[in-house]
A and B are shown apart, each in its own frame.
Chain A
């Protein structure tokens, strides 16, 4: 008798828990995720902000004062903005030319150009400074061959390197925009006798403008945050991102580094707001349903050749840069002693660094993808206050410069209650949360497409929430999961700006290793490590794609 009562009580307790979980599932989830976001994204940023205002004797504005007194800092800020703007304007033009050629150009040219434009994706952005030094350095191959006196340690060098590094970003976004234009509009204009130039001016460009603007802003943010190229090629020109890094690693001055971080953050936040709130929903999609197949037209020669005049040199430059990296990996000292050696490739330290990178990227990718998908779900389907703030926080990782988050992480997690410094977890969490945005965005757009009725139907048929979640929601969101995973994986492999603050002895990362060896001037080792890393990235990417294909999930279909 007594046993039965206890049994009943237990059962009813279990029942109550299940009911409770069922009805509040989403809120429990949301609470947990919100705590994670707050600790691992907001808290470090708050720390940076506090540190910029909090000296040894409490609150002070003296660090900001210092910023405005030294015109070194002022120049540093100005230079960063100039760099961002010039790379942005160049890449809008070049990216558009590439995109136009690959969507409307001659067929045989499309694939090779596309490959060229996307190639920089599979290596860290700052490898271009390595190859530019080899090619155009003061003792570089091209300089010597043509007897030029081009100085690569200059503004031109930095801008060229940054442009090459971020071409894929601008190209992908603009190509996406051009692809969503209905060709019949242009067709009909052409039928009515408009020249291709008029069509371009009156239809293609105005229709693409909002999308292109978005691409431009993103390029701007990425450029000012990336510090490898300016640090290696900048010579004596100060830039904010490398200065923040030197301020910490060289001088251990956290207050000033925080001030520089806050200053760097200001334009990024402005752009983030413009991007997500003012430009949101702007953009023209003129395709409804399936695009009608149109016979490809030949381009007007004038336009074709003038576009080619821009596109071909850039493509050649990219190919040359990669060729030099491969060459550098296999010769003794590239440009000085071109005998074949295999030493660089066999260097053990770089192998471990790459192994560590793969390990870290896999874990960060998995963690980031899980959190990202869940966040997207909670933001879309939850019915609690503060969803907008949560969305903003989750997406902000995109706009925040890596150096800032890196600085924030060492300040936030080097002491209790969150003592993480020196462990692999600080790296995993850093990468996962920084690159969360793509998973979240993909998840949100996926859930936009799928009506909530499917979930309701499942609930009506008697499935409780947990069953619905695993049987209905997860499969729906799986492509978002993959998108988040791949993005986080790739960017973690390449990312330098935040992890460089967090690496510890014995856990070298490939990106950091390549940067440090390049900075020390050991181009052979840096090239070899880059080649190995590129191989691994390509292998990983291809096998992921194959796996997805085998299992019927197409990775390419992102949004």
Chain B
């Protein structure tokens, strides 16, 4: 009979632990794939909960990961909203009809550049990539922070630079096409190939370089500006700079996923996201928000120099560029492989 006692105690423990499973879903909550940095995601979710009383269950993912999830899960999405992903994901998803169309009244008075015409997505703000350096390590080595992207090609930086990988990171894709548009396609790839010589490795997330450089693992990094302000406040010996050629930028888009069972809650959240408060909040985190009154705490009143970018081109050519990147820097392919790959590419393009 002893095993019965054991068994019942075990069962009791399990029942107490597992009982809240059903009750959790009863409260006002939505779930979201979130593509800001993890801290911003948590803070934004908290802000929404405090203000609207709607809990945002979230999971932090890179943009590529969000896109991969949407593609696999369509038409039954496991989340109600996407809070922040890139232009190519937003536009391609709208083409495939992934999103609810909602012209949010909360977004009245915001520049049309931040909204889609049919209401399938809105941009919460823009962010950029920065050149990051570790002050302590730079001083130790006696190096200056590079002024121009060309300086990064100096052999002294060999194995000292970290950059995110466009396989998973939206920031990385932005970095890539910024160079392609800055130098022109051919010279752009040449530049990236030379830069590749100095790159230690490509990280999964666009925010990882901030931490790797901040902890002094590597001297320099190109990474998202999202966490930089926070990390510097935390006491990391970080320095950021905008090289003389300027930096790229990209929107943080948000959208409601089609088929959500909580459309009303999602609309409420969407309305709130267009408010002055959220603009202020995102500005304080370092983003450049859509509402005119709020400024980015990172860049201040004066906007940094931007590279002139054609985002439509970037969206259209994303597949091809990422594939090119992969075959250049990830896998050294044979001629035959390229042929097979090209055919595959054509087929996929024809399908879209």
Interface string of B47-72 (1 = CB under 8 A from A): 00000000001111110110111011
Min Cβ gap B273→A in Å is: 17
Contact of B65 among A250, A254, A335, A359 (CB under 8 A): A250
B201 within 8 A of A: yes
CB pair B6–A336 under 8 Å, yes or no, is: no
Min Cβ gap B271→A in Å is: 21
Closest to A482 in B: B6
B291 within 8 A of A: no
CB pair A516–B60 under 8 Å, yes or no, is: yes
A552 within 8 A of B: yes
Interface string of A319-341 (1 = CB under 8 A from B): 00000000000001101110000
CB pair B341–A66 under 8 Å, yes or no, is: yes
Interface residues of A in 115-156 (CB under 8 A from B): 133, 137-139, 153
Chain B residues near A516 (CB-CB < 8 A): 38, 60
A251 within 8 A of B: yes
CB pair A69–B340 under 8 Å, yes or no, is: yes
B98 within 8 A of A: no
Chain A residues near B347 (CB-CB < 8 A): 56
Q: How far is the CA of A366 from the CA of B13 in the complex (A)?
A: 11
Q: How far is the CA of A410 from the CA of B341 in the complex (A)?
A: 26
Q: Do A66 and B331 form a contact, CB below 8 Å, given A249-B65, A552-B2?
A: no
CB pair A71–B332 under 8 Å, yes or no, is: yes
Chain A residues near B212 (CB-CB < 8 A): 521
Q: How far is the CA of A66 from the CA of B323 in the complex (A)?
A: 14
Q: Which of B26-34, B101-109, B179-187, B302-310 contacts A (4 or more CB under 8 A)?
A: B26-34
Contact of A336 among B37, B42, B216, B351 (CB under 8 A): B216
CB pair B200–A235 under 8 Å, yes or no, is: yes
Question: Total interface residues on B, using CB and 8 Å?
Answer: 70
A414 within 8 A of B: yes
CB pair B340–A62 under 8 Å, yes or no, is: yes
CB pair A336–B68 under 8 Å, yes or no, is: no
CB pair A336–B215 under 8 Å, yes or no, is: yes
A424 within 8 A of B: yes
CB pair A521–B210 under 8 Å, yes or no, is: yes
Min Cβ gap A453→B in Å is: 22
Q: Which of B112-120, B143-151, B233-241, B246-254 contacts A (4 or more CB under 8 A)?
A: B233-241
Chain A residues near B204 (CB-CB < 8 A): 231, 246, 250, 519
Q: How large is the interface on A (under 10, 10 to 19, 20 to 34, 35 or more residues)?
A: 35 or more
Min Cβ gap B61→A in Å is: 8
Q: Which of B73-81, B124-132, B276-284 contacts A (4 or more CB under 8 A)?
A: B73-81
B208 within 8 A of A: yes
Q: Which of B14-22, B262-270, B292-300 contacts A (4 or more CB under 8 A)?
A: B14-22
CB pair A505–B59 under 8 Å, yes or no, is: yes
A478 within 8 A of B: yes
A508 within 8 A of B: yes
B190 within 8 A of A: no
Interface string of B221-242 (1 = CB under 8 A from A): 0000000000000111100000
CB pair A251–B64 under 8 Å, yes or no, is: yes
A287 within 8 A of B: no
A316 within 8 A of B: no
Chain A residues near B205 (CB-CB < 8 A): 519-520
Chain A residues near B333 (CB-CB < 8 A): 69-72
Chain A residues near B330 (CB-CB < 8 A): 72, 238
CB pair A138–B218 under 8 Å, yes or no, is: yes
Interface string of A499-537 (1 = CB under 8 A from B): 000011111100000001101111100000000000000
CB pair A414–B72 under 8 Å, yes or no, is: yes
B167 within 8 A of A: yes
Chain B residues near A521 (CB-CB < 8 A): 207-208, 210-212, 214-215
Interface residues of B in 140-183 (CB under 8 A from A): 167-168
Q: How far is the CA of A56 from the CA of B212 in the complex (A)?
A: 40
Interface residues of A in 217-254 (CB under 8 A from B): 231, 235-236, 238, 246, 248-252, 254
Closest to B231 in A: A333
Q: How far is the CA of A548 from the CA of B211 in the complex (A)?
A: 46
Contact of A551 among B2, B29, B33, B168 (CB under 8 A): B2
Chain A residues near B349 (CB-CB < 8 A): none
B217 within 8 A of A: yes
Given A137-B217, A522-B38; 7 other pairs, CB 8 A cutoff: A72-B331, A250-B65, A250-B68, A362-B18, A414-B72, A505-B33, A551-B5
Pull 7 A–B residue pairs with CB atoms less than 8 Å apart, ordered by A: A250-B64, A252-B67, A252-B71, A478-B3, A520-B211, A521-B212, A521-B215
